Chains A and B, each alone.
Chain A
Amino acid sequence: MNKVAIVGAGITECRGRWVEATYWELFQQATRRTLEDAKMTADEVDSVVYGIYNDIFEHQAIPESTLTGLIGMANKPGVRITTGGATGLYAMRAAIQEVAAGMADCVLCIGGEKATDCFDPQSRTATPMVIDTIAKSWDPFFEYPLGATASDSYMQLCMGYDDEYPGDIGDSLVRAKIIEMLCRQGNKNPFGQRRDEKVTAEQVLASRWIIAPFLRLLEACMYTEGAAGVLFASEKKAREISERTGVPPIWVKGVGAANESYSPGRGGNYKPLSRIVSDHLAAERAYAMAGVRPSDIQLVELHDAFVAQLMITMGEMGFVPLGRTRNLVDEGVMADIRELRDDQPPPRGKVLINPSGGLIFGGHFVGGSNMFSMWSARREMVRRQIPLALIHGTGAINAVYGGAIVIELGDDPGKSPTGDGGAQ
């Protein structure tokens, strides 16, 4: 497998609704910024991978087809990935594979969503129809007709986890404290959807229930419209671009993914309700490929659909023990952004989790959310000089899709071209 680097990234502003732009414009904006970031033109890109989750949101069955010419990718190969919430992660995996296989020197991975044009005529609001559109991710025979929603599906797992590991995610105060920390981080993201909000733990505890006892209104991710792009390049191309931009290449060290069975059950290959096995397998595979352990990693951008799930995911990925994920707060595993300068890595033993504000405060334009996470991880690595980072995505009913990517900060351009880190 050839070496692969990230050489550029760009995002749009995250908004609850972009009436000023269709998804055409959002994807073009993100493409433009990504290419600008890499000081490249579209001509230099060999192929494109699109992350778009749900056709119903875009209201077109092959939504990427209209984008091809508009984002400067005419007459190049292009493929669209759609894997629920993990769409962005899997799109990046596909882009990495093209470069790793030697089929391309430079691949644009671009994802986004136009999510809140959906409208419910009954309530005269968007939300119930947005929920319905996501609910179409369930099968039409057994699950959708029962009224499945994304929130209750993730909460089903939290309840299964809590049955198995009581006294962990059930502490509202622990979850509220994590929210407070995520909010502070989101305030520092210039593109974040809720960058001007101040949410305290007290406000979280006073906010209304969505699903008791693990999900209050202020513990859930947002619906966002926006787009994000990441450029992946071969080693030679990466060094060339790095010379141009003056930004070190970020090396892809490990990629892991796993999809659990759709059906929950007991034994065999069924999905256990007390675990997010997809997260566990994805992370293990990414670590094995990268030759690292979770204790080597001090920066994580994970897919926090809900805070209780963030806690379980951090447990599944090995940063805290399952059953004691509250150590994130109790033992201060989660780094406090207030104690860090903007150019400072977290102290040993602490992990910076979602400095972007995550999907709860930063943004969650589904098809590109994981690219948004990658954009943030790269930004934080470079400015804080953090050697390793982990990017995570989860999706589909009952969180059965999981993916993880380990990346490594390369040397500043101009230094010896052989030294690309070696942090493991």
Chain B
Amino acid sequence: MSSERESILSNVWNLPREVSEVAGKDPGTWLQFNTHMVTFYQQTYGELSRFFLALKSCRLIGSHCKKCQQVMVPAATWHCPNCNFAEMEEIELPHRGVLAARAPITIFPSASFIDEAPFCRGYVDVATDAPIASFLPSRLMTTTGLPRPGIFVKGTELKLVFEDQRMGRIRDIFWVPVKELPSHLVDKKPLFASDLNFSSPPMPAIARDPALEGALRKAIEAMRSMAEQIPRSPRAQKDLAGRTHTISVRTAGGELTLIVAGSGLRIEDEPAKSPDFAMATRDPAVFTRWVGDGSLTDAAVEGTLWLPHRAAFAVLPILDRLPRSIRRDVRDRK
């Protein structure tokens, strides 16, 4: 949420100059050469400049047609395509909107956005009083942890948030659910990213349910028996090599801790004192399913496993590999 003065392309976007051999489906020797198709631009904002200048000064504007009363947001043109290109006028829009449809959460982004996943993107109806209106393509953020299903549903009331440092680009703004705001911020205008806390979201309340204690014991047992096989699985050790994580887990059946260290995994049946981060789920069986070749990532994507941030999400694919790696090594030993 900062706007550091960064280069457009980092050095990881590069390849050595070389021609290499590549295996195909047909026999023979085939070649490929490393190359690129990068173009830099100083891209004109032209008639869109007004919209982005407004964002810089914390205003959201649209273009309004007096004939058909439509509002275009963003102001993509100043001449109404519905009314024989009649001149449109600038209209200042509220910092409140409504999500037009449930919004998808991107887990597998394009190369340019690989560090941002998972993220949520949706269309916000801002000019709700206008009879005809376009929707604003928008970043959607939550202060309650990673985005997950159920937060950004059709009709969710949203509040516009401005980045503290604005450059004049669509990423100068994003939206948060109004119901996540403390009452003194609901009408604050403009609301800044620094007014909100995204870095330490509160863990959702999970009431203890004695009926799930057995499920927790079963999950811990399953994970421990998986962990015991790691020393005999080179693949699993490779998955964990060089990693150290202490992850607290809260479930309705009780708490536990996953400790990744020394290319191995340890399960404690109590919460860690200073974990790297904490996860939460009502149903401990999420972890039993993981060991049975399920997926913690899928549980997070479905929203049954709560995670505080991206760094936590990035650990899940590593953990997800373990059951499969062990199974393959067992098979190889046979």
Q: Which A residues lie at the B interface, using CB under 8 A? A: 15, 17-20, 56, 59, 117, 119-123, 127-129, 131-132, 134-135, 140-143, 145-149, 151-152, 155-156, 159-160, 162-163, 208-213, 263-270, 273-274
Interface of B, helix, strand, loop or mixed by DSSP? loop
**28 chain-A/chain-B pairs, Cβ below 8 angstroms:** A59-B35, A119-B34, A121-B14, A121-B15, A123-B111, A131-B108, A131-B109, A141-B48, A142-B137, A146-B137, A149-B106, A152-B105, A156-B104, A160-B100, A163-B102, A163-B154, A208-B295, A209-B297, A212-B105, A212-B302, A264-B123, A264-B134, A265-B132, A265-B135, A266-B100, A267-B132, A270-B132, A273-B101
In whole angstroms, how far apart are the Cα atoms of A117 and B24 in the complex?
Answer: 13
A147 and B101 within 8 A (CB): no
Tell me, rounded to whole Å, the shortest Cβ–Cβ distance linking A333 to chain B.
27
In whole angstroms, how far apart are the Cα atoms of A145 and B102 in the complex?
Answer: 20
Say which size band chain B's interface belongs to.
35 or more
A-B residue pair count with CB separations less than 8 angstroms: 165
Most buried by A among B48, B104, B298: B104
Known: A122-B114, A132-B112, A213-B149. A146 touches B138 (CB 8 A): yes
Task: Decide yes or no whether B30 CB sits under 8 A from chain A.
Answer: yes
Task: Decide yes or no whether B139 CB sits under 8 A from chain A.
Answer: yes
A121 and B68 within 8 A (CB): no
User: Told that A267-B131, A268-B132, A270-B132 touch, could you supply 9 new A-B pairs with CB distance under 8 A?
Assistant: A59-B35, A121-B13, A127-B108, A131-B111, A145-B170, A147-B119, A156-B104, A212-B302, A213-B149
In whole angstroms, how far apart are the Cα atoms of A376 and B13 in the complex?
Answer: 40
Task: Decide yes or no whether B232 CB sits under 8 A from chain A.
Answer: no
Task: Decide yes or no whether B81 CB sits under 8 A from chain A.
Answer: yes
B101 and A163 within 8 A (CB): yes
A274 and B101 within 8 A (CB): yes
In whole angstroms, how far apart are the Cα atoms of A232 and B164 in the complex?
Answer: 59
Q: Which B residues lie at the A interface, using CB under 8 A? A: 12-15, 22-26, 28, 30, 32, 34-35, 37, 41, 43, 45, 48, 68, 70, 72, 74, 76, 81-82, 100-114, 116, 119, 121-123, 125, 131-135, 137-139, 149, 154, 169-171, 295, 297-298, 301-303
Q: Which residue of B lies closest to A121 (CB)?
A: B15
A212 and B24 within 8 A (CB): no
Tell me, rounded to whole Å, the shortest Cβ–Cβ distance linking B3 to chain A.
13
Residues of chain B lying within 8 A (CB to CB) of residue A163? 101-102, 154
A122 and B111 within 8 A (CB): yes
B45 and A15 within 8 A (CB): no
In whole angstroms, how far apart are the Cα atoms of A127 and B110 in the complex?
Answer: 8
Q: Which residue of A lies closest to B125 (CB)?
A: A266
B43 and A140 within 8 A (CB): yes
B123 and A123 within 8 A (CB): no
Residues of chain B lying within 8 A (CB to CB) of residue A268? 68, 70, 82, 132
Residues of chain A lying within 8 A (CB to CB) of residue B30? 19-20
Closest 9 CB pairs of A and B: A132-B110, A268-B132, A265-B134, A267-B132, A147-B113, A128-B111, A160-B101, A19-B24, A159-B102
Residues of chain A lying within 8 A (CB to CB) of residue B303? 212
B302 and A213 within 8 A (CB): yes
In whole angstroms, how far apart are the Cα atoms of A273 and B303 in the complex?
Answer: 24
In whole angstroms, how far apart are the Cα atoms of A127 and B107 in the complex?
Answer: 13
Residues of chain B lying within 8 A (CB to CB) of residue A273? 100-101, 123, 135
Most buried by A among B24, B25, B106, B110: B110
Residues of chain B lying within 8 A (CB to CB) of residue A145? 169-171
